[in-house]
Every structure is written in structure tokens, then in C-alpha cells.
Amino acid sequence: MFEQMKAKQVAIVTGGSRGIGRAIAVALGREGFDVVVNYARSAQSAEEVKAEIEKSGSRAHIVQADISVRQDRDRLVDETIKTFGQIDLLVNNAGVAPDVRADVLEATEESFDRLININLKGPYFLTQRVARHMAERRQGKIINITSISAYTAHTHRGDYGVSKAGLAMMTQVFAARMAEFGVHVYEIRPGVIQTDMTGPVKEKYDDLIFNKDLTPIKRWGQPDDVARAVLAIAKDYFPFSTGEVFNVDGGFAMRRL
Ligand code: NAP
């Protein structure tokens, strides 16, 4: 008997050009997914990710799109379907931190709007669009990359925390709605991960991790730690779970005495 050839699966990774998204896109490529690498501004980095995916024998396609802009989101979906025919996995990874870590008593409405638009409204309506496609095909998975900030109050990043808490609820809403179509929705909650985003606060977190017992596992998280969690879901190791939260945080979420 010949083993049945498994059909190619297609993934969109938003913010796939750098950091966590880059690790996810490359890991999915290695697992045999065709990957759409979305980015906003880093064209050169996106090209590098594409080349790395292609080296592993999978196909990659780059789509520049600002996920906070509706026309860009539509183009991202349309181009993916035109290029690869379908979407099996959406990873809502793209996200930004506030430009200034301002006290919640001082932080601006402009910063709030920027974070909500990119970190929450963009993924919300991108997911709505992709979910309709997945409902028609009666299959698919959606993974939202939130943060420990979804439940950890930080007085100098209120807008970021609110956007991530919203993304956590969004996971539940779509998980509840999409189960009847065989589409499962998951949240991955990374802790402190070493990327460009945390570059400006490296010293602060070095001190917290190595001197102040921030986490039981005393090291920086790496983008690949998050990519592995994505792979476990993408490879269907959680078929009886949806709306589930996966902490990838070195044990940060545990209450300890
Ligand atoms: P990063 O290194 O700053 O990379 C951010 C990625 O998002 C880049 O690929 C960037 O594209 C893309 N992006 C930003 N704005 C975009 C937009 N409007 N439209 C499309 N793409 C956009 O950040 P990271 O640390 O990898 O973070 C990735 C995700 O994990 C974010 O959602 C972040 O909130 C979350 N997270 C990070 C940490 C951490 O400690 N690093 C912890 C918890 C959660 P360009 O390259 O084109 O700018």
C-alpha cells in the first residue's frame, strides 16, 4: 500500500519578517507548509525569510500589507488565495509596542489608537475575513500571538496590555463561533522573548530574569520557543482543544510563594 500523500497546507504569518513571526514562518516552511510572509516595512528581511523557506523545499510568497488597513488586509487574503489556492492556517503575530512607555496618567490617545489598530482591530477583521474562507472549506486553524501583558498590569504600557487582553477575548469569540465548521482557534501567550521589540529594555529584563526571579526558567525566551508551540498546534496535536491558551513564558504565569 502506498501511503496517502498529505496535501500541501498553506499558512499566512503576519509580521513574518522579523522576530517571532520570522521563526514561525521558517519553522512552518520546514514542516512543509507553503507560507505567505507578511510584513509592513522590512522588505529586505522578508526576502531573507522567503529564501530560507524555499531552501527547505516549501513555497513562500511575500505580501507587504499594513494589517491595520482594510484594503491591505483584503489584498493579503486575495493574494494568498490567488497564489496558493487556500488558507489552512492564519497566525496573527504582527504587533507593536508603544513608541514611548508612558505612564497611564500621561499616555496619549494617538498611541492608544495605533496599538489598538495594529494589535487588535487589524487581526480581528483579518480573522473575520479568513474565518469565512475557512468556514466554506470546513477546515483550518487560527493562532493569535498575545502576551503575558494580556493579564499582567503594566502602568507604563496600558495601551499594549489592553490590546493584548482584547486579542485574548477575540480568540475565545472566534473559537466559540468557528467550532461548528471544524475550525479551531488558539492563543499563544509568550513571556519575555529576545527580539527587536525587547531590545530597548534588555538591561531591565536581564536584571529581572537573572537577579530578581521573574521566572522559574532563568533565560530569555527565544522566537523558536514560540515557533515550536505554533508547530504543535499546526501539526494537529490538539484536535480536541479550541479557545485554548498556551503559555510560552518560562513559567511566568505560575503563582509562587
Ligand atoms: P518585532 O521583532 O518588533 O517584529 C514585529 C513584526 O510585526 C515585524 O515583522 C513587523 O514587520 C510586523 N509588523 C509591525 N507592524 C505591522 C503592521 N502594521 N502590519 C503588518 N506587520 C506589522 O516583534 P516580536 O517581538 O517578534 O513580536 C511579535 C508578536 O509577539 C507581537 O504581536 C508582540 O506583541 C508579541 N509578543 C512579543 C513578546 C516579546 O517579548 N518580544 C512577548 C509577548 C508577545 P516589519 O518588519 O515590516 O516592521
Distance between the two ends of the chain, CA-based, in angstroms?
57
For residue 142, give the H/E element and its range. strand 140-145
In a domain, 144, yes or no: yes
Residues paired with residue 142 on neighbouring β-strands, in sequence order = 90, 185
H helices of the chain, in order, are 19-30, 43-55, 70-84, 109-116, 122-137, 158-178, 202-210, 223-234
Q: Report whether residue 45 contacts ligand 1, using a CB cutoff of 6 Å.
A: yes
> Would residue 132 count as lying in a domain?
yes
What the block records as the C-alpha cell of 77 is: 487574503
Q: How many domains does the chain have?
A: 1
160 flagged as catalytic:
yes
**Residue 73 located in a structural domain:** yes
Q: Grid coordinates standing for 185?
A: 482557534
**254 domain residue, yes or no:** no
Q: Which of 22, 47, 48, 96 should be mutated for ligand 1, with most atoms under 8 A from CB?
A: 96
SS3 label, residue 43: helix
The CATH number assigned to the domain holding 226 equals 3.40.50.720
Give the residue, by CA position, lying nearest to ligand 1 atom 32: 95
* pTM (whole model) above 0.85: yes
For the chain, 257 residues long, give each residue's pLDDT as a single digit of tens.
Answer: 344 446 789 999 999 999 999 999 999 999 999 999 999 999 999 999 999 999 999 999 999 999 999 999 999 999 999 999 999 999 999 999 999 999 999 999 999 999 999 999 999 999 999 999 999 999 999 999 999 999 999 999 999 999 999 999 999 999 999 999 999 999 999 999 999 999 999 999 999 999 999 999 999 999 999 999 999 999 999 999 999 999 999 999 999 99
Round the CA-based radius of gyration of the chain to a whole number and report it: 18
Q: Is 100 helix (H, G, I), strand (E, B) or coil?
A: coil
Mutate to test the pocket of ligand 1, among 197, 214, 222 (most ligand atoms within 8 A of CB): 197
Question: Which residue segment(s) compose the domain that 25 sits in?
Answer: 10-248
- C-alpha to C-alpha distance for 249 and 205, rounded to whole angstroms: 13
